Amino acid sequence: MDEADYVIVGGGTAGCVVATRLSEDSGTQVALLEAGGSDLSIWIQLPIGYGRTFFDKRINWMFDTEASDGLNGRASYWPRGKVLGGSGSINAMVHVRGFPHDFEDWKAMGNPGWGWDDVLPFFMGSEDHDLGPSSVHGKGGPQHVTDISGGVHPLCRRFLETGNELGFPVTHDFNGANGEGFGIYSINTRGGWRASTANAYLWPVRKRPNLSILTKSQAVRVLIEDGRAVGVVYRQGTVEKTIRARREVILCAGAIGSPHILQHSGIGNGAVLREHGIPVVLDAPAVGRNLQDHLAVSYFYKTRVPTLNNVLFPLIGKVRAALRYAFDRTGPLSMSVNQAGGFVRGGPDATRPNLQLYFSPVSYTKTPLAARKLLNPDPFAAFLLSFNSCRPTSRGHLQIASSDPFAPPAIFPNYLDTDHDVAEAREGVRLLRSIARTNPLAEIITEELIPGPGLESEDALLEDFRARADTVYHPTSTCMMGPDPATSVVDSQLRVHGVAGLRVIDASVFPTVTSGNANAPTVMVAEKGAAMVRAGA
Ligand SMILES: Cc1cc2nc3c(=O)[nH]c(=O)nc-3n(C[C@H](O)[C@H](O)[C@H](O)COP(=O)(O)OP(=O)(O)OC[C@H]3O[C@@H](n4cnc5c(N)ncnc54)[C@H](O)[C@@H]3O)c2cc1C
């Protein structure tokens, strides 16, 4: 294939949605280029399999970041999906939209059409929600959202009651009208299998005659002629090919891939491009800037009552869990380990929920990180509690590190760079400790394994945070949406400032990271972006 109306680069969470929506018009030819291969793998489709895909270089870009001063000079490991479905094929499936005020913030940053009332229809249209249809939830949309509250581990109830004891409300739906408080996460599965956008959107329509899905096809650069994007140069195997775009090139390569491709196409900070011998097509200083991410730490507790460790560690438990899954697709193998959590205010001054919590009735203190296997938890009963700031204000950046388009970019997360983020880290560690010291959770805890009782002062706990906190895998904003080309990359129609026929539609356009997990808002951005393209905006 050497020509299409729309050439979409990246078949991840957003790309699968955009390709599906644009090819609904049978008169439009759509080509989807994906660097990775098919997602037909048991470890991708089995919800708990994401522990296996975490370090699998066949389907994972496996980026390493540069060091962050705020983490005492530590670097981070950033998995990203390199497969149909993208990071949505290797993620933990937690379905959180973010709060209405997140999108009001987007609008207030100069992006008309992105306030809550504008984006809600696109969230709803994407959903086939167990709690829908309702005024906030859709039914019959492509992506299933499962309410797992009936099947979570019994310890989750204790966690909710403990929150209540501390004065936090219990919410029955983080995405409902009252999403604040402690609650059970909904997840993207259908019938016990992962419901990535590859499964939910792309697979059902893959045979459309006007849709070409080119896997193992890595974009090298966007072709730009007279200020207009006219195609994409890509490598399939060892062969370099070109595909022309009659109408538009749409980058959906994610928060790392999209700015990386733009820079290799000559669109980026002129000085950086020249340093690597890339001819400057457009000096666009914001490409790769404004990077945001959620940063979390986990506390581990040994318990006197059984946890999921008691189910998943012994061989007999694994067999039982597998049989249960084989029988009716239920049980722990059908879920994420992040079963419960919360969105809460960490202090009296917080005007909105500013901390996200995770409660996982399972622990991995003994398994080395690089061998992280969700089916190999600790051999004793334990659970873990984690938190991250909802809306960190630190911003990092990424940039090409070489003239070779196949070399990874240099990623500078710049975690914990602002006083705001340090203050919220202090609030968060205080909160984790008070949760663990409050009944009915406290009465079943026999020992805090990590960080351990030796650390008591808030300064010591902050040091521990700097020493152990890590990514929650939500990088965003590297092709930020905004009105000013000096500080943003795309306008509110997701068109790249200064280049005709070129859009970015993925998590890289978020003006700010949303308060919760990034996948559901990426699906919303993709639905809304595809509608803009179809409307000719
Ligand atoms: C381990 C992990 C756990 C997570 N857990 C959750 C969770 O529980 N809940 C949640 O909401 N979010 C979670 N996330 C985040 C969420 O999955 C992402 O925010 C979301 O998938 C981003 O979508 P995207 O379309 O922007 O990028 P991606 O889904 O990453 O898609 C980008 C696609 O572009 C392709 N690509 C990149 N470069 C090129 C190129 N040059 N040529 C061709 N193709 C290219 C990639 O291979 C990939 O398929 C998690 C992420 C990870 C990695």
pLDDT tens across 480-496, in order?
Answer: 999 999 999 999 999 99
Query: Are 1-70+78-144+187-291+474-537 and 149-184+295-389+417-468 in the same CATH fold?
Result: no
Span 444-463, mean pLDDT?
96
Tell me the pLDDT tens digit for each residue of 492-511: 999 999 999 999 999 999 99
Confidence of residue 374 (pLDDT cuts 50, 70, 90): low
Domain covering 1-70+78-144+187-291+474-537: architecture: 3-Layer(bba) Sandwich (3.50)
Q: Is 33 in the pocket of ligand 1 (CB under 6 A)?
A: yes
State residue 375's pLDDT score. 64
Cβ(479) – ligand 1 distance below 6 Å:
no
CA separation for the pair 329, 218 (Å, rounded): 35
Q: Is the pLDDT of residue 350 over 90?
A: yes
Token code pair at residue 143: 């992506």
Crossing angle between the packed helical segments 116-126 and 519-534, to the nearest 10 degrees = 100
Q: What is the mean pLDDT of the chain?
A: 96
CA distances in angstroms from 328 to 323, 325, 331, 333, 411, listed in the order given:
9, 6, 9, 11, 43
Place of tokens 């096809």: 217
Tell me the CA–centroid distance for residue 188 and ligand 1, in Å: 14
Residue in 56, 63, 91, 96 to alter for ligand 1 test, most ligand atoms within 8 A of Cβ: 91
101-137: per-residue pLDDT in tens? 999 999 999 999 999 999 999 999 999 999 999 999 9
Could you tell me the pLDDT band of residue 274, with boundaries at 50, 70 and 90? very high
Catalytic site positions: 474
Q: Is 245 in the pocket of ligand 1 (CB under 6 A)?
A: no
User: Was domain 149-184+295-389+417-468 assigned CATH 3.40.309.10?
Assistant: no
Q: Could you tell me if 517 and 6 are in contact, meaning their C-beta atoms sit under 8 angstroms apart?
A: no
Which residues have a Cβ under 8 Å from the Cβ of 249 and sit 6 or more positions away?
A: 6, 7, 9, 222, 229, 230, 231, 232, 501, 502, 503
* Contact status, residue 482 vs residue 488, Cβ threshold 8 Å: yes
pLDDT more than 90, % of the chain? 91
What are the residue boundaries of the structural domains of the chain, listed by start?
1-70+78-144+187-291+474-537, 149-184+295-389+417-468
Distance CA 265, CA 263 (A): 5
> What pLDDT is stored for residue 336 in this prediction?
82
**Protein residue with its CA nearest to atom 24 in ligand 1:** 254
Give residue-wise pLDDT tens across range 18-64: 999 999 999 999 999 999 999 999 999 999 888 889 989 999 999 99
Q: Residue 417, class by beta-carbon neighbours within 10 Å (0-12 exposed, 13-18 middle, 19+ buried)?
A: middle
User: Rounded to the nearest 5 degrees, what angle is found at the Cα of 38, between the Cα atoms of 34 and 40?
Assistant: 155
